[in-house]
Amino acid sequence: MVPYEYYVVLSALLMVLGLVGVIIRKNIIAMLISTELMLNAVNIAFVAFDFKLQEVAGQVFVFFILTIAAAEAAVGLGLIMAIYRMKKDVSVEKLTELKF
Amino acid sequence: MDLSVIAFWSFSTLAVLSAIGVVFFKNIIYSVLSLISTLIMVSGLFFTLGAELVGALQILIYAVAIVVFYVLVISTVPEYKGKAIDPKYMLLSLPVGFLLFLELAYVSVYGAWASNTGIFKPEVLNEIGNVKAVSTILFTKFLFPFEVASLILLVAMIGAIILGRKEQVMDEEEVK
């Protein structure tokens, strides 16, 4: 059996990759996709610690994170659609004003 | 070599490679396809940890529903013409991210974590199954957060409908 620390290290790697993606991407949709990567890293850590602590509460929290991710994708993509309809652009360099 | 070890290394390697693809692919469609690959591999990792319910939900909700949202929005927004990656942020963020990863990995491997105190020993889980264990905890200890999650989904649905309305288009027609 693989030690659970490896799962936590993998979770850290996915978290850092998602963070780098949020920082370096210019397309706002790609930034949201990188956020999904970070949420998945958290899920892996929860399930790995469940395995270690012989609990199932972390898996319940993974369920909640899935719910929040669905809500986040719906609202975030709705916002992107609204922004695109007003500004005709999804580049973060053009979206620098709070007021349209 | 144990089968679970092979499963862990293959799933984790493919997950990391797909995650690198998500971050560095120029074309956004390739990024979304890599995201699907990452999600399925993460689901496989859940299965290797014995979390069947969460693994199945990961495929059903993430790899199907959420990715379809992204594909729909990408099909509506025209192709992004500019540079995909900002080089001046990449120079800074890659070393900092690597250092952050080293720190997190060090803490993960050498850190002193709490010992196992849970009630779901492997024998218990073998007897009642993972799905029954998770749902028992979900509907007893976490019943109130479960109800709040349904409320959050309702609010998100109403918000997405209001944000996605074509009010601005109607305004332009009125002006004409």
How far is residue A88's CA from residue B134's CA, in Å, rounded to a whole number?
45
Q: Is residue B146 part of a domain?
A: no
Contact A37 B73 (CB under 8 A): no
Which pLDDT value is given to residue B169?
Answer: 56
From the list A17, A37, A74, the residue facing B69 with the nearest CB is A74
In terms of average pLDDT, the best of A32-41, B125-134, B165-174 is: A32-41
Which pLDDT value is given to residue A67?
Answer: 92
Query: How many domains does chain A divide into?
Result: 1
Residue A44's domain comprises 4-87
**Interface check A48 vs B, CB under 8 A:** yes
Contact A55 B120 (CB under 8 A): yes
Contact B45 A30 (CB under 8 A): no
Please report the number of interchain residue pairs, chain A to chain B, with beta-carbon separation below 8 angstroms.
237
Closest CA relative to residue A18, chosen from A28, A31, A8: A31
Residue B75's domain comprises 1-84
Distances, alpha carbon A55 to alpha carbons A1, B132, B155, in Å? 18, 13, 31
Query: How many domains does chain B divide into?
Result: 1
Q: Is residue B62 part of a domain?
A: yes
Query: Range with the lowest mean pLDDT among A78-82, B7-11, B27-31, B163-167?
Result: B163-167
How far is residue A70's CA from residue A39's CA, in Å, rounded to a whole number?
11
Which pLDDT value is given to residue A26?
Answer: 86
Q: Is residue A96 part of a domain?
A: no
The model's confidence at residue B126, banded by pLDDT at 50, 70 and 90, is confident
Q: Is residue B106 part of a domain?
A: no
Which pLDDT value is given to residue B50?
Answer: 87
Which pLDDT value is given to residue B176?
Answer: 53
B165 in the Ramachandran plot: left (φ > 0), alpha (ψ -120 to 50) or beta? beta
Q: Is residue B135 part of a domain?
A: no
pLDDT of B84 strictly over 90: no
State whether ipTM is beyond 0.95: no
pLDDT of B168 strictly over 60: no
Closest CA relative to residue B67, chosen from A2, A69, A7, A50: A69
For A29-72, the pLDDT digits (tens) are 899 999 999 999 999 999 998 888 888 888 999 999 999 999 99
CATH code for the domain in which residue B30 is found: 1.20.120.1200
Which pLDDT value is given to residue A64?
Answer: 93
Query: Range with the lowest mean pLDDT among A34-43, B48-57, B68-77, B122-131?
Result: B122-131
DSSP A27-96: BHHHHHHHHHHHHHHHHHHHHHHHHHHT-SHHHHHHHHHHHHHHHHHHHHHHHHHHHHHHHS--BTTT--
Which pLDDT value is given to residue B173?
Answer: 59
Q: Is residue B74 part of a domain?
A: yes
The tally of CA atoms less than 13 A away on the side-chain side of residue B14 is 17
From the list B90, B117, B153, the residue facing A53 with the nearest CB is B117
CATH code for the domain in which residue A67 is found: 1.10.287.3510
For A11-21, the pLDDT digits (tens) are 999 999 999 99
Residues 6+ apart with CB under 8 A from B151: none
Q: What is the mean pLDDT of residues A80-90?
A: 83
Residues in chain A: 100
Q: Is residue B9 part of a domain?
A: yes
Q: Is residue B154 part of a domain?
A: no
